[in-house]
């Protein structure tokens, strides 16, 4: 890329300069949409905030563009924080709609504010200078843009391969998994949104000083949609996809703009409809965009663990037999329905306790109350003597509870190692800043080490395999490994045998026994009677929301009320 100015005509250098600027915005969308799963049509507006801030300050106060870059970042950051704080709690299609709303608002603000030159815009914006040289020739500007893009791409690549990057990927599938491993998902979404806006601001700064003039048109909704096209066509989950998408769309637009009127024999905008069709085809044929095709041609990532001596902190575990989880009179009502009513029991350290009951007995509801997903209507839940019933899943996870899910919730396109490392989120510290600069190498190595150890512990050897390639039985085991990486004092398993074959169930039971022998305490909600009876130390039986019985498997099997209500008298 560096020697390209010596090889290609000036016209293409200008075009490539634009590709670089658009790729910066698309990088932000890689993070926001491809990685974190929030769609934004408003990135062009953020580009406009950056461009206008820098241009107005340069023209009015005669400041250096390098100083106004800082101002552009601060102003765009502030706007993004305010908009993000208001809109990022929205789910589903409400967030994209909100981005359209503020994208339009900002566009008209650019056109109508007293200091922005209205819809005709601002001219005479000075070029960026470096060591006294104005970077306003096509080749110098090209170098500047691609150097900035290179730095931003590198920083983002670092971030995506960090603890924070993995947590951002976890946001894509909803907040449940991320929260259950201690991630503050709202704050993480705000940070993601902010970073993507800042990348757009840098693009706006380059655009304003590269062109020398600006008006609202390139910061409107149409451009916002085109940026999203770029991210989708490139392959929105990867840094390379942003550059590929920006390059393809920009070059294609340029070529089609000349070609289509000639072919059709009349002038007009035929490019946009063609793009529309192309995007629909892409969504049908290659949802992941074109980057995965390019990636196949690149050398594979090294399949080795990072060496490091640092280890993650380990919690002191309670002594065997100590009261670990105590439920006192816990109830959960949904309107008039008493899904759980006055349930009390104690789980001691080192035990495997089974929670069973017929369909609709209230097991899942109780599981959700214990893990913090649902607040109880009344009663107390405490873990190691600390009241947890008023806490969120994230806070409970940070107090030592790790869980698996009834419907496996893994990241199929991530390796076993990456999935397992997600479990250790709360044991590491590095935030966005350190991750961008890759200053968390030691901590990352420690996380990898622990994750690999837990994977070996549960018998999953090939840590670089993709999680999506595993059969269901092993996916459930991988979820257990992920939970173990959290260094839990209590492991909560939600129907871990559901959908497994007989052999897989036997292996699961053997694994859980082994973990118990190693000191892990387990609460298991399960339907499979054979598995439960041979596995657990004690059982709590629920029926119609109430606790029907509690005792050893043999006692439960003999219990008349259980036989009547649960085993239907047939046992």
Do residues 40 and 200 touch, judged by C-beta distance below 8 A? no
- Nearer CB in complex with ligand ATP: 273/360: 360
- Nearer CB in complex with ligand ATP: 109/344: 344
Give the shortest CB-359-to-ligand ATP separation in angstroms: 4
- Nearer CB in complex with ligand ATP: 275/367: 367
Give the shortest CB-369-to-ligand ATP separation in angstroms: 9
Q: What distance in Å separates the CA atoms of residue 241 and residue 556, rounded to the nearest whole number?
A: 58
Backbone dihedral angles phi then psi of residue 232, each to the nearest 5 degrees: -70, -45
- Nearer CB in complex with ligand ATP: 78/561: 561
- Nearer CB in complex with ligand ATP: 360/412: 360
Name the percent of the chain in helix, strand, coil, to the closest 5.
55, 10, 30
Give the shortest CB-363-to-ligand ATP separation in angstroms: 4
Give the shortest CB-332-to-ligand ATP separation in angstroms: 8
Applying CB under 6 A, the residues found at the interface with ligand ATP are 334, 337, 339, 357, 359-365
- Nearer CB in complex with ligand ATP: 209/332: 332
Read off the tokens for 34: 């491809």
Do residues 13 and 250 touch, judged by C-beta distance below 8 A? no
**Residues 389-426, buried b or exposed e (16+ Cβ, 10 A)?**
bebebbebbbbbbbbbbeebbbbeebbbbbbbbbbbbb
Give the shortest CB-552-to-ligand ATP separation in angstroms: 21
- Nearer CB in complex with ligand ATP: 149/361: 361
**Residues 312-343, buried b or exposed e (16+ Cβ, 10 A)?**
eeeeebbeeeeebbbbeebbbeeeeebbbbeb
438 backbone φψ class: left, alpha, beta (φ>0; ψ -120 to 50) = left
Environment class of 253 (CB within 10 Å of its CB; exposed 0-12, middle 13-18, buried 19+): middle
Give the shortest CB-544-to-ligand ATP separation in angstroms: 9
User: 64: Cβ–Cβ under 8 A, 6 or more apart, which residues?
Assistant: 58, 129
Give the shortest CB-409-to-ligand ATP separation in angstroms: 16
Following CA atoms 457, 458, 461, 467 in sequence, which dihedral angle do they give, to the nearest 10 degrees? -130
- Nearer CB in complex with ligand ATP: 428/500: 500
- Nearer CB in complex with ligand ATP: 465/528: 528
Give the shortest CB-176-to-ligand ATP separation in angstroms: 14
Residue among 225, 523, 264 nearest 396 (CA):
523
Q: What distance in Å separates the CA atoms of residue 126 and residue 25, rounded to the nearest whole number?
A: 22
Backbone dihedral angles phi then psi of residue 338, each to the nearest 5 degrees: -90, 85
313 backbone φψ class: left, alpha, beta (φ>0; ψ -120 to 50) = beta
Q: What distance in Å separates the CA atoms of residue 196 and residue 28, rounded to the nearest whole number?
A: 4
Q: What distance in Å separates the CA atoms of residue 330 and residue 341, rounded to the nearest whole number?
A: 6
Per DSSP bridges, beta strands 401-403 and 490-494 are: parallel
- Nearer CB in complex with ligand ATP: 327/426: 327
- Nearer CB in complex with ligand ATP: 361/532: 361
Q: What distance in Å separates the CA atoms of residue 96 and residue 352, rounded to the nearest whole number?
A: 45
Give the shortest CB-356-to-ligand ATP separation in angstroms: 9
Q: What distance in Å separates the CA atoms of residue 97 and residue 109, rounded to the nearest whole number?
A: 18
Give the shortest CB-365-to-ligand ATP separation in angstroms: 3
- Nearer CB in complex with ligand ATP: 337/472: 337
What DSSP character marks residue 34?
Answer: I
Do residues 480 and 409 touch, judged by C-beta distance below 8 A? no
Give the shortest CB-364-to-ligand ATP separation in angstroms: 3
- Nearer CB in complex with ligand ATP: 80/492: 492
Give the shortest CB-470-to-ligand ATP separation in angstroms: 24
Give the shortest CB-509-to-ligand ATP separation in angstroms: 20
Environment class of 263 (CB within 10 Å of its CB; exposed 0-12, middle 13-18, buried 19+): exposed
């Amino acid at each position: 890329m560096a020697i390209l100015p010596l090889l290609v005509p000036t016209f293409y250098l200008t075009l490539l300069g634009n590709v670089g600027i658009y790729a910066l915005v698309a990088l932000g969308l890689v993070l926001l949409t491809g990685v974190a799963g929030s769609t934004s049509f408003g990135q062009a507006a953020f580009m406009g905030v950056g461009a206008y801030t820098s241009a107005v300050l340069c023209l009015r106060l005669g400041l250096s563009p390098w100083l106004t870059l800082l101002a552009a970042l601060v102003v765009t950051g502030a706007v993004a924080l305010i908009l993000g704080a208001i809109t990022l709690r929205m789910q589903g299609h409400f967030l994209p709609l909100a981005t359209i709303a503020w994208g339009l608002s900002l566009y008209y603000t650019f056109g109508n504010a007293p200091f922005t030159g209205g819809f005709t815009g601002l001219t005479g914006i000075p070029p960026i200078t470096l060591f006294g040289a104005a970077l306003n020739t096509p080749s110098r500007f090209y170098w500047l843009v691609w150097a900035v893009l290179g730095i931003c791409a590198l920083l983002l690549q670092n971030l995506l391969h960090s603890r924070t990057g993995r947590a951002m990927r976890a946001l894509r599938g909803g907040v449940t998994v991320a929260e259950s491993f201690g991630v503050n998902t709202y704050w993480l979404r705000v940070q993601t949104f902010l970073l993507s806006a800042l990348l757009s601001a840098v693009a706006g700064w380059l655009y304003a000083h590269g062109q020398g003039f600006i008006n609202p048109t390139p910061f409107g909704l149409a451009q916002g949609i085109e940026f999203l096209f770029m991210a989708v066509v490139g392959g929105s989950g990867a840094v390379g996809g942003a550059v590929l998408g920006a390059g393809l769309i920009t070059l294609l637009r340029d070529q089609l703009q000349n070609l289509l009127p000639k072919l059709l024999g009349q002038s007009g905008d035929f490019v946009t409809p063609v793009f529309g069709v192309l995007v629909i085809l892409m969504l049908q044929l290659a949802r992941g965009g074109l980057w995965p095709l390019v990636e196949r041609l690149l050398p594979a990532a090294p399949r080795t663990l990072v060496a490091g001596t640092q280890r993650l902190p380990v919690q002191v575990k309670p002594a065997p037999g100590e009261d670990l989880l105590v439920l006192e009179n816990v109830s959960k009502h949904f309107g008039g329905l008493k899904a759980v009513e006055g349930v009390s029991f104690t789980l001691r350290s080192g035990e495997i306790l089974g929670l069973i009951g017929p369909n609709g007995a209230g097991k899942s509801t109780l599981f959700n109350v214990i893990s913090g997903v649902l607040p109880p209507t009344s009663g107390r839940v405490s873990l190691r003597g600390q009241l947890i019933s008023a806490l969120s899943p994230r806070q409970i996870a940070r107090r030592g509870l790790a869980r698996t899910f009834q419907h496996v919730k893994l990241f199929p396109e991530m390796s076993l190692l990456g999935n397992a490392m997600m479990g250790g989120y709360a044991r590491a510290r590095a935030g966005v800043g350190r991750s961008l600069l890759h200053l968390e190498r030691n901590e990352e190595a420690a996380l990898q080490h622990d994750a690999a150890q837990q994977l070996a512990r549960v018998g999953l050897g090939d840590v670089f395999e993709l999680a999506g390639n595993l059969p269901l039985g092993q996916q459930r085991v991988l979820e257990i490994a992920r939970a173990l990486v959290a260094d839990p004092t209590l492991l909560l398993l939600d129907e871990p045998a559901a959908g497994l074959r007989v052999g897989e169930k036997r292996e699961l039971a053997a694994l859980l026994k082994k973990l118990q022998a190693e000191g892990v305490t387990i609460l298991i909600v399960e339907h499979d009677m054979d598995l439960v009876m041979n596995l657990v130390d004690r059982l709590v039986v629920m029926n119609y929301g109430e606790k029907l019985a509690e005792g050893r498997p043999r006692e439960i099997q003999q219990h008349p009320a259980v036989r009547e209500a649960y085993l239907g008298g047939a046992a």
